[in-house]
Protein backbone atom coordinates (compact mmCIF):
# COMPACT_ATOMS: atom_id res chain seq x y z
CA UNK A 1 0.00 0.00 0.00
CA UNK A 2 1.24 3.49 -0.76
CA UNK A 3 2.69 5.56 2.05
CA UNK A 4 0.22 8.41 1.47
CA UNK A 5 -2.79 6.09 1.72
CA UNK A 6 -1.38 4.42 4.82
CA UNK A 7 -0.87 7.80 6.52
CA UNK A 8 -4.42 8.88 5.64
CA UNK A 9 -5.85 5.68 7.14
CA UNK A 10 -3.90 6.04 10.40
CA UNK A 11 -4.46 9.78 10.93
CA UNK A 12 -6.91 9.07 13.79
CA UNK A 13 -3.95 8.08 15.96
CA UNK A 14 -2.89 11.75 16.08
CA UNK A 15 -6.15 12.86 17.78
CA UNK A 16 -5.38 14.62 21.05
CA UNK A 17 -1.92 15.71 19.93
CA UNK A 18 -0.72 19.00 18.47
CA UNK A 19 -0.35 17.38 15.03
CA UNK A 20 -3.04 16.93 12.39
CA UNK A 21 -3.34 15.62 8.86
CA UNK A 22 -5.80 16.88 6.26
CA UNK A 23 -6.64 15.21 2.99
CA UNK A 24 -4.78 16.47 -0.03
CA UNK A 25 -7.19 17.91 -2.63
CA UNK A 26 -6.64 20.33 -5.51
CA UNK A 27 -7.61 23.99 -4.89
CA UNK A 28 -10.76 23.89 -7.01
CA UNK A 29 -12.01 20.81 -5.13
CA UNK A 30 -11.31 22.50 -1.77
CA UNK A 31 -13.37 25.53 -2.83
CA UNK A 32 -16.24 23.27 -3.96
CA UNK A 33 -16.11 21.36 -0.65
CA UNK A 34 -16.39 24.63 1.34
CA UNK A 35 -19.52 25.53 -0.64
CA UNK A 36 -21.02 22.10 0.01
CA UNK A 37 -20.48 22.37 3.78
CA UNK A 38 -23.51 24.67 4.17
CA UNK A 39 -25.72 22.30 2.19
CA UNK A 40 -24.37 19.39 4.24
CA UNK A 41 -25.38 21.09 7.50
CA UNK A 42 -28.90 21.79 6.12
CA UNK A 43 -29.41 18.16 5.09
CA UNK A 44 -28.20 16.84 8.44
CA UNK A 45 -30.52 19.27 10.25
CA UNK A 46 -33.43 17.73 8.31
CA UNK A 47 -32.39 14.33 9.67
CA UNK A 48 -30.90 12.90 6.50
CA UNK A 49 -27.61 11.05 6.39
CA UNK A 50 -25.25 13.05 4.21
CA UNK A 51 -21.54 13.35 3.58
CA UNK A 52 -19.13 14.91 1.11
CA UNK A 53 -17.23 12.57 -1.16
CA UNK A 54 -14.43 14.32 -3.04
CA UNK A 55 -16.38 17.24 -4.57
CA UNK A 56 -19.94 15.88 -4.37
CA UNK A 57 -22.61 15.88 -1.69
CA UNK A 58 -23.96 12.37 -1.12
CA UNK A 59 -27.35 12.04 0.61
CA UNK A 60 -28.51 8.61 1.77
CA UNK A 61 -32.23 7.96 1.93
CA UNK A 62 -33.66 6.40 5.04
CA UNK A 63 -34.88 2.83 4.70
CA UNK A 64 -38.64 2.91 5.11
CA UNK A 65 -41.16 0.12 4.89
CA UNK A 66 -42.61 1.62 1.70
CA UNK A 67 -39.15 1.89 0.16
CA UNK A 68 -38.37 -1.74 0.90
CA UNK A 69 -41.64 -2.96 -0.59
CA UNK A 70 -40.97 -1.20 -3.87
CA UNK A 71 -37.80 -3.20 -4.45
CA UNK A 72 -38.42 -6.16 -6.75
CA UNK A 73 -38.09 -9.62 -5.29
CA UNK A 74 -34.95 -11.17 -6.76
CA UNK A 75 -35.56 -14.71 -5.54
CA UNK A 76 -35.81 -17.36 -8.21
CA UNK A 77 -38.93 -19.46 -8.27
CA UNK A 78 -38.25 -23.16 -8.60
CA UNK A 79 -39.67 -24.60 -11.78
CA UNK A 80 -41.71 -27.73 -11.35
CA UNK A 81 -40.68 -30.58 -13.60
CA UNK A 82 -42.52 -33.83 -14.35
CA UNK A 83 -42.15 -36.68 -11.88
CA UNK A 84 -40.82 -39.07 -14.53
CA UNK A 85 -37.71 -36.96 -15.07
CA UNK A 86 -37.04 -36.93 -11.32
CA UNK A 87 -37.16 -40.74 -11.23
CA UNK A 88 -34.79 -40.95 -14.17
CA UNK A 89 -32.28 -38.65 -12.43
CA UNK A 90 -32.47 -40.69 -9.22
CA UNK A 91 -31.76 -43.93 -11.12
CA UNK A 92 -28.77 -42.30 -12.80
CA UNK A 93 -27.32 -41.22 -9.45
CA UNK A 94 -27.73 -44.72 -8.01
CA UNK A 95 -25.95 -46.28 -11.02
CA UNK A 96 -23.02 -43.90 -10.61
CA UNK A 97 -22.66 -44.82 -6.96
CA UNK A 98 -22.53 -48.54 -7.77
CA UNK A 99 -19.64 -48.15 -10.22
CA UNK A 100 -17.31 -46.55 -7.70
CA UNK A 101 -15.86 -49.53 -5.83
CA UNK A 102 -12.58 -49.41 -3.96
CA UNK A 103 -10.13 -52.18 -4.79
CA UNK A 104 -8.36 -52.88 -1.52
CA UNK A 105 -5.92 -55.37 -3.08
CA UNK A 106 -4.01 -52.63 -4.84
CA UNK A 107 -2.40 -50.87 -1.96
CA UNK A 108 0.22 -48.15 -2.24
CA UNK A 109 2.68 -50.36 -0.33
CA UNK A 110 2.79 -52.75 -3.30
CA UNK A 111 4.17 -50.00 -5.54
CA UNK A 112 6.69 -48.46 -3.14
CA UNK A 113 10.24 -49.83 -3.23
CA UNK A 114 11.52 -50.22 0.29
CA UNK A 115 15.17 -49.86 1.30
CA UNK A 116 16.64 -53.01 2.82
CA UNK A 117 17.70 -52.86 6.46
CA UNK A 118 19.54 -55.34 8.65
CA UNK A 119 16.42 -56.14 10.65
CA UNK A 120 14.09 -56.41 7.66
CA UNK A 121 15.84 -57.52 4.45
CA UNK A 122 13.84 -57.07 1.28
CA UNK A 123 12.68 -60.34 -0.21
CA UNK A 124 11.57 -60.70 -3.76
CA UNK A 125 8.83 -63.18 -4.75
CA UNK A 126 11.43 -65.71 -6.01
CA UNK A 127 12.88 -66.02 -2.47
CA UNK A 128 9.48 -66.79 -1.03
CA UNK A 129 9.02 -69.72 -3.39
CA UNK A 130 12.44 -71.28 -2.73
CA UNK A 131 13.42 -70.97 0.97
CA UNK A 132 16.75 -72.81 0.45
CA UNK A 133 17.95 -70.16 -1.94
CA UNK A 134 18.90 -67.76 0.89
CA UNK A 135 21.06 -70.26 2.78
CA UNK A 136 24.80 -69.83 2.64
CA UNK A 137 27.13 -72.75 1.75
CA UNK A 138 28.44 -72.98 5.35
CA UNK A 139 25.07 -74.00 6.70
Question: Which pLDDT value is given to residue 43?
Answer: 93
The rounded mean pLDDT for the chain is 74
- The reply to whether 5 falls in a domain is no
- The reply to whether 57 falls in a domain is yes
Percent of the chain with pLDDT over 90: 24
SS (H, E, C) 58-74: EEECCCCHHHHHHCCCC
d(CA 90, CA 88): 5
Extended strands (E) in 13-138: 49-53, 56-60
d(CA 137, CA 139): 6
d(CA 138, CA 133): 13
If one counts the domains in the chain, the total is 1
| pLDDT tens per residue across span 75-126 | 777 777 666 555 556 666 666 656 556 666 666 766 677 777 777 666 655 5
Q: What is the pTM of this model?
A: 0.35
What is the domain extent for residue 37? Answer: 25-62
Say which residue, 120 or 58, is predicted with more confidence. 58
Extended strands (E) in the chain: 49-53, 56-60
- The reply to whether 95 falls in a domain is no
- The reply to whether 88 falls in a domain is no
Question: Which pLDDT value is given to residue 77?
Answer: 74
- The reply to whether 9 falls in a domain is no
- The reply to whether 36 falls in a domain is yes
Average pLDDT over residues 28-35: 94
**For 49, phi and psi rounded to 5 degrees?**
-85, 120
- The reply to whether 49 falls in a domain is yes
Say which residue, 8 or 107, is predicted with more confidence. 8
Question: Which pLDDT value is given to residue 120?
Answer: 66
Q: Of 134, 130, 114, which Cα lies nearest the Cα of 122?
A: 114
Amino acid sequence: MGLKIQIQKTKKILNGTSYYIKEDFPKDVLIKRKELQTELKKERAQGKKAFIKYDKLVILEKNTQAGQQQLPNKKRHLSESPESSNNYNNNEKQNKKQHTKINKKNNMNNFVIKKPTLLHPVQSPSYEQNPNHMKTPTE
